[in-house]
Amino acid sequence: MKIQHSVATLSMILLVGLSACTKNESKIDPVSSKATVETSPRALPPAGRNKVAYYTFDATPVNQSYKSLVNFTDQANIVIVFEGTLWELADTVNYNTGWMVNSIYKSKKQILADIQALRARGVKVLMNVDDAASWSTSTPFTTYNGTPYTYTQFASFINNCVNKVGLDGISLDVEHGAYDNSNYRNMIKELGKYFGPLSSASGSKIYTGAVYSGGEPGPAFRDPALTNYMNFIMDMAYFSDNNSRFNYWAATLGNAKVMDGMSHDYNNQSSAISHAQWHPSPDKAGVMIYAGNVNKAYTDAILGAF
């Protein structure tokens, strides 16, 4: 999820992609030197208590040193790994965007180990998946060796990557040139067979996404027929009025399906805390901090206030 720069009123939900991931949807090359994956299902956070923090590899720290996945927040119960791709974590041989490095992380092995360290603490770890213009076509994904996938094959592939890496679900980033049509909706719904409240793993796998109201296909996620497949959505119009952007989505989805996202770059800490402490009836889904590793004090103050 990149910061949206339009001055028009924007609002966002939250969901995710960059490159491509495997040889076929049922076989993924082993990750070399990979940490032991925790496979036992872990319960979701209580309803309405989702405290989400993004870890972004290109974050520039403010008034602190660089932080790792395991020490950038003490308050989040859901961490979203952002930048790079799910498939490059699942298949380190054939996929590499070059994004998943910073002063802390020099190898995928370190990232994979820290993902499992977080999960061992009971934190749910999701991987960002960018949507793409191709999601509005009949072949939403093409593998590193040129094999095109249908939406059913791609969703299965994503699920296999999640299981291979050892993650608790996915978060979509909805802002990459797709548009709302039957192909796009088929893709979103198919992912809901593997993740989220309508999936066979509804008690342990999260399906969410970040969107905004100012561009395609964001407004499509106001439709419960689409978002019923998801646990909640996150609004990423950080510079817009908090209540207005929340209400934009809640009007059709209900409070319990929506949370506002906050950013150190755009949201004053005191106003973000006030929003975190606001509990409508019924309550909101939670609160999200984008690039939580920019400033730990900011991130934890807001999440801790919720």
Q: Residue 17 pLDDT > 70, yes or no?
A: no
Structure tokens at 306: 């919720």
SS (H, E, C) the chain: CCCCCCCCCCCCCECCCCCCCCCECCECCCCCCCCCCCCCCCCCCCCCCEEEEEEECCCCCCCCCCCCCCCCCCCCCEEEEECCCHHHHHCCCCCCCCCCCCCCCCCHHHHHHHHHHHHHCCCEEEEEEECCHHHHCCCCEECCCCCEECHHHHHHHHHHHHHHHCCCEEEEECCCCCCCCHHHHHHHHHHCCCCCCCCCCCCCCEEEEEECCCCCCHHHHHCHHHHCCCCEEEECCCCCCHHHHHHHHHHHHCHHHEEEEEECCCCCHHHHHHHHHCCCCCCCCEEEEECHHHCHHHHHHHHHHC
Q: Residue 9 pLDDT > 70, yes or no?
A: no
Q: Residue 147 pLDDT > 80, yes or no?
A: yes
pLDDT at site 262 = 98
Q: From CA 177, how far away is CA 138, in angstroms rounded?
A: 15
Q: Which residues are registered as beta bridge partners of 287?
A: 51
Q: Taking CA 142 as the corner, what is the angle to CA 141 and CA 148, rounded to the nearest 5 degrees?
A: 95
Show me where the domains of the chain are located: 50-177+201-305
pLDDT at site 39 = 65
Pick from 153, 147, 212: which is nearest to 186 by CA?
Answer: 153
0.75 exceeded by the pTM? yes
Strand pairing report for 258-263 and 169-173 = unpaired
Mean pLDDT of 103-120: 98
Pick from 186, 233, 295: which is nearest to 16 by CA?
Answer: 233
pLDDT at site 5 = 36
Residue 130's pLDDT band, with cuts at 50, 70 and 90, is: very high
Mind listing the pLDDT tens digit for each residue in 257-289? Answer: 999 999 999 999 999 999 999 999 999 999 999
For residues 296 and 67, the answer to whether their CB atoms sit within 8 Å is yes
Radius of gyration of the chain (CA): 18
Mean pLDDT of 219-241: 96
For residues 266 and 240, the answer to whether their CB atoms sit within 8 Å is no
For residues 285 and 232, the answer to whether their CB atoms sit within 8 Å is yes
Q: Residue 12 pLDDT > 80, yes or no?
A: no
Q: Among the listed ranges 38-42, 98-102, 161-165, 215-219, which one has the minimum average pLDDT value?
A: 38-42
The dihedrals phi and psi of 163, each to the nearest 5 degrees, come to -70, -35
pLDDT at site 43 = 85
Structure tokens at 22: 């495997």
Residue 11's pLDDT band, with cuts at 50, 70 and 90, is: very low
For residues 189 and 178, the answer to whether their CB atoms sit within 8 Å is no
Arithmetic mean of pLDDT over the chain:
90
Q: Residue 19 pLDDT > 90, yes or no?
A: no
For residues 287 and 302, the answer to whether their CB atoms sit within 8 Å is yes
How would you classify residue 64: left for phi > 0, otherwise alpha for psi between -120 and 50, otherwise beta? beta
Q: From CA 19, how far away is CA 137, in angstroms rounded?
A: 16
Q: Residue 72 pLDDT > 70, yes or no?
A: yes
**CA distance readout (Å), 276 to 52, 200, 208, 211, 265:** 12, 31, 19, 19, 17
CATH superfamily for 50-177+201-305 is Glycosidases (3.20.20.80)
pLDDT at site 239 = 87
Residue 33's pLDDT band, with cuts at 50, 70 and 90, is: very low
pLDDT at site 38 = 64
Q: Residue 15 pLDDT > 90, yes or no?
A: no
Mind listing the pLDDT tens digit for each residue in 45-55? Answer: 988 899 999 99
Mind listing the pLDDT tens digit for each residue in 163-215? Answer: 999 999 999 999 999 999 999 999 999 999 999 999 999 999 999 999 999 98
